[in-house]
Chain A
Amino acid sequence: MTAAQIFAIVIFVGMFIMIVLDKIERHIVTLGSGVLTLVVVFGICMRSGGAIWDTIALKSFATRDFWYQVAETESKGINWATIIFIAGMMVMVEGMAKAGFFRWLCMKIAYLVKCRTIPVFITFTIMSAVLAMFIDSITVIMFLAAVTVELAQLLKFNPVPMILAEIFCANLGGSATMCGDPPNIIIGTSLGYSFADFLMNTGLIAGVSLIISVVFFYFAFRKEMVSANGAAVDMSKLPKPSEAITNKKDFVLSTIIFICAVVLLVTHSITHLTVATIGLFIAAVTLIVSGKDALKLLKKLDYKTLIFFIGLFIVVGGLEETGILEIIAKFIENISGGNVMLMVAIILWVSAVASAFVDNIPFAATMVPVIQSLSSTSGVDLKTLSWALAIGTDIGGSATPIGASANVVGTSVAAKNGYPISWGRYCKKLAPATVIVLAISTVYIFVRYM
């Protein structure tokens, strides 16, 4: 093993431990690790300016494929398309939240089902999945969980089962599309897949799983919610959906922008516009229509997450350039003995177990080059491995309270309102649900692709 490989592994493992320990903010950890990779691995050990340049990947901005993509192309180093897209969606979501869109939507649906507990439970869990297909799950859960608590206090039911189901379905919805969950954005932009590719593959798995999950949660939680369901609901006590709208003009504009974003994403395999172009366009339009509030919107942007991604991609670039990821791919190939089913099962279940305990974003970013290498050496279809990786990382995160961002936000909103959710309470229902969905996904992938 070369010095560069040893340092690349030490930096990567150190970064992961620091992220798990949560002592230093994770964007500082990844950025610091990224700088170390550039200096120690590429600069001192490899003395390769080319490796630094390839990993920083600034030249990708100048290529046509970055903005307009006709054929599938793969990217290396910092995945700027992911970063620009996430930043663009952040700007749009900030605009929508400021106008009161999410709260309005939650209240509107609650009104439509006359605020009865079980119908609210079913519609909110489905809405959670549908919204998470296009919007980051943190935002979806932040608003849904808050409204759920508010309704629970007014209608006198325990909001914990509903919040748990919403969390699970947000992660499930996120797995359905290319922009639903960061691992999917990384997989999609790194391997040149389209929105439709995800929708027709992971989307179908998520659709089937959603139906089964809603039924599972209904039977798992019905006893906890049934007592309040029978009581008559005094709708006059509830806040009106229209009260959620802070500014009518902003509300209409942000809704139109959201619809445009959805249309652009759904049709991007036809228009050939990349997610980077769509992200930039959506952000630009949101900022233009925000007028003098544009600066405020930009200030609210979660820069820490964007920096986290930059550092992370550099560290993974270190593993890639030094050939460590090829060694891991070779290892997976060897232990599966060339058995494709076993290989897919390993990718899916190892990703799921890892994502249940560590951040799924660094895991997915690391595994993308691994499955690329695995596919080229073993001949297994890259797309099959990609869907296994996407499902594993997206769904596996639902199993524990720390597996995905939505879980942390949902349990936190519940606790802040007097409904603490312990590990035991969380895992009792969501861990079995995760295993069920993973089992369904495994069977689905085996049947459809092999």
Chain B
Amino acid sequence: MGQLIISVGREFGSGGRIIAEALAKRFNLPIYDRHLITEIAEKTGLTTEEIEKYNENPKHRLFSRSVRGYSNSIEDNIAEMQFNFLKTKAESGESFVVVGRCSETKLREYPALCSLFIIGDMDAKIKRVMEVYELSEDKAKDLIDKKDRKRKRYHNYHCSAHWGDSRLYDLCINSSRLGIEGTVDCLENYIRARIGE
């Protein structure tokens, strides 16, 4: 198998992260999600908590300024570090799975990229979030809205195209239709077809 980079974008509660982990297992690839934070923490000397605090957060416009490509925003700089980290990995020929981080856009130039976006029916997402986070229905819905709004703002700030726009991805799939296992099977078949296996 040549280089393979699987980028997984996801709506909160769609099971995107679990799907990404399952794909990483099936293709025997490392996955960069929280692990990305750990790797950057090791490289820079920052703690994972410090990175987590600013991770996938859009900057505060009123408290930030950019000058000739430099920004005082820690959020911007952490994001830039992650993008550079992913590009370095992609450049080195390594195969991996990455969750979020605008990876479908930032790694677009690499032919090995296979970009996926996982959506879900609201009912199914609420049910899932209620189970995982032990929340009431209302609170689960609020959390989904809040997280998706945050991801959208982060993505749209760092990329010119819109988060979740189907034209950005090779494949968009609703995990509520086939369930998590079925979705993973379907995506595995697609990826194997893509890499010619």
User: Which A residues fall within an 8 A CB radius of B?
Assistant: 20-23, 138, 142, 302, 359, 401-402, 405, 407-409, 411-413, 415-423
Contact = CB atoms under 8 A, between A and B. Distances in A.
Nearest to A305: B68
A302 B68 CA distance: 8
B167 interface: no
A198 to B, nearest CB: 24
B38 to A, nearest CB: 14
Contacts of B43: 418
B136 to A, nearest CB: 35
Contacts of B67: 138, 405, 408-409
Contact of B54 (A138, A401, A418, A420): A420
Given A22-B66, A408-B66, A418 B44 contact: yes
Given A412-B71, A415-B77, A418-B46, A402 B63 contact: yes
A409 B67 CA distance: 7
A22 B65 contact: yes
A422 B45 CA distance: 16
A227 to B, nearest CB: 16
Given A20-B62, A22-B64, A408-B66, A402 B72 contact: yes
A20 B72 CA distance: 14
B70 interface: yes
Nearest to A411: B72
A401 B61 contact: no
8 tightest A-B contacts by CB? A418-B44, A415-B77, A412-B70, A402-B65, A420-B74, A401-B72, A408-B67, A411-B72
A413 B66 CA distance: 12
Contacts of B70: 142, 408-409, 412-413
A407 B74 CA distance: 13
Contact of A420 (B50, B61, B66): B50
A23 B54 CA distance: 20
A409 B68 contact: yes
Contacts of A420: 46, 50, 54, 74, 77-78
A302 B100 CA distance: 33
B170 interface: no
B18 interface: no
Interface string B54-93: 1000000111111110111010011011000000000000
A418 B45 contact: yes
A408 B71 contact: yes
Majority DSSP secondary structure for residues of B touching A: helix
A415 B44 CA distance: 9
Contacts of A409: 67-68, 70
A34 B46 CA distance: 44
Contacts of A402: 63-65, 72
B121 to A, nearest CB: 34
Contacts of A22: 61, 64-66
B4 to A, nearest CB: 29
Contact of B61 (A21, A142, A417): A21
Interface residues of B, number: 22
A417 B74 CA distance: 11
B74 A422 contact: yes
A232 to B, nearest CB: 22
A416 B80 contact: yes
22 contacts: A20-B61, A21-B61, A22-B61, A138-B68, A142-B70, A302-B68, A401-B72, A402-B72, A408-B72, A409-B68, A412-B70, A413-B70, A415-B72, A415-B74, A415-B78, A416-B80, A416-B81, A417-B44, A418-B44, A418-B46, A419-B45, A420-B74
A416 B80 CA distance: 8
Contacts of B61: 20-23
Contacts of B66: 22, 408
A408 B68 CA distance: 10
A20 B60 CA distance: 11
A22, A401, A420: which has the most chain B beta carbons within 10 Å?
Answer: A420
Contacts of B63: 401-402, 423
B48 to A, nearest CB: 13
Contacts of A302: 68
Contacts of B45: 418-419
Nearest to B80: A416
A412 B72 CA distance: 5
A138 B67 CA distance: 9
Contacts of A419: 45
Given A412-B71, A412-B72, 12 more contacts: A21-B61, A138-B67, A138-B68, A142-B70, A402-B65, A407-B72, A408-B72, A409-B68, A411-B72, A416-B81, A418-B46, A420-B74
B104 to A, nearest CB: 23
A405 B68 CA distance: 9
A231 B71 CA distance: 34
B101 to A, nearest CB: 17
Nearest to A403: B65
Contacts of B80: 416
Interface in B82-119: none
Contacts of A138: 67-68
A142 B70 CA distance: 10
A169 to B, nearest CB: 18
A21, A418, A419, A423: which has the most chain B beta carbons within 10 Å?
Answer: A418
A142 B69 CA distance: 12
